Amino acid sequence: MEKELQVYIDGVYYPKSQAKVSVYDHGLLYGDGVFEGIRAYNGVVFKLKEHIIRLYRSAHALMLKIPLTEEEMTQAVVETLRKNKLRDAYIRLVVTRGVGDLGLDPRKCPKPSVIIITDTISIMSKEAKEKGISTMITWVRRNPVDATSHEIKSLNYLNSVLAKMEATANGVDEAICLDKNGFISEGVGENLFSVKDGKIFTPPSSTGALAGITAELAKKFAKSLGYDVTETNITPFQLFTADEVFFTGTAAEVVPIREVNKRQIGNGNPGPVTKKLMAAFQKATADPAEGVPIYS
């Protein structure tokens, strides 16, 4: 029988089938907590430092005191991968407010809980990356920046879940969310870029879009390839008439978009800029310098 994966919960490892949290945990009751999705490629945890920094930044915004230092958290992630003998994996790092009572007050939760899951994930198929995906602009608006903004990577993802449900109901691969002013924000779990006349555009964080780690890499690669990258408001019309559109994300990586609301993007195939950035990303995931080694 194949050995079960082990899940880290507050310093103790449990078999996957026995890994549980209390029904009184405010992460479950109220979505009160933060998380990161992280990838490991060929024995290296890709951009782990950057993910840890973002986790602690999100926690700070929620006034959530993580009970481990950044270095201790880094070691806990690596050790969990070692325990499960994984070299290629998806890591879900979760910090909840912890166990409290049935009221909202976070002061009733004396100790936050840390969970580390190491497993696999399949978001976009090989075919999706070769041919591009279909998308639609959803009625579900991104929460404004003065609400539960997606600038904080919190456990409350109902905004994204509703948008994903609509995309599925309409037979398309993914949804694109607008901000409250009608500008493009992001996908349900991805940042968005458009290309027009050799220039690259992406929505600013003022639309509620998360500051994506893969998105920052894409900007870096684009500039090194000689492309201008501008953070600016993008209208649906500008998206419909773009030469290329693509998503970036830790789970999705770099994915071309061939269609938005039944409008073909460009010639309907992944464009040259997107292809170059996909190749640059794949090269980076093979570079040990881009992350933290699991096995020294």
The structural domains of the chain, ordered by start, are 6-119 (3.30.470.10), 126-285 (3.20.10.10)
| 220 in catalytic set | no
| pLDDT in the model for residue 148 | 81
As given in the structure block, the two tokens for residue 145 are 């920046």
Beta strands in 120-173, from DSSP E residues, in sequence order: 133-137
Per-residue pLDDT tens digits for 163-215: 999 999 999 999 999 999 999 999 999 999 999 999 999 999 999 999 999 99
Residue with tokens 């919190």, as numbered in its chain:
154
Question: Which residues of the chain fall short of a pLDDT of 70?
Answer: 1-2
50 vs 195: CA distance, rounded Å: 26
| pLDDT in the model for residue 1 | 56
The helix/strand/coil state of 234 is: coil
Average pLDDT, the chain: 96
Query: Of the listed 47, 49, 85, 153, which one is catalytic?
Result: 153
280 vs 224: CA distance, rounded Å: 10
The helix/strand/coil state of 296 is: coil
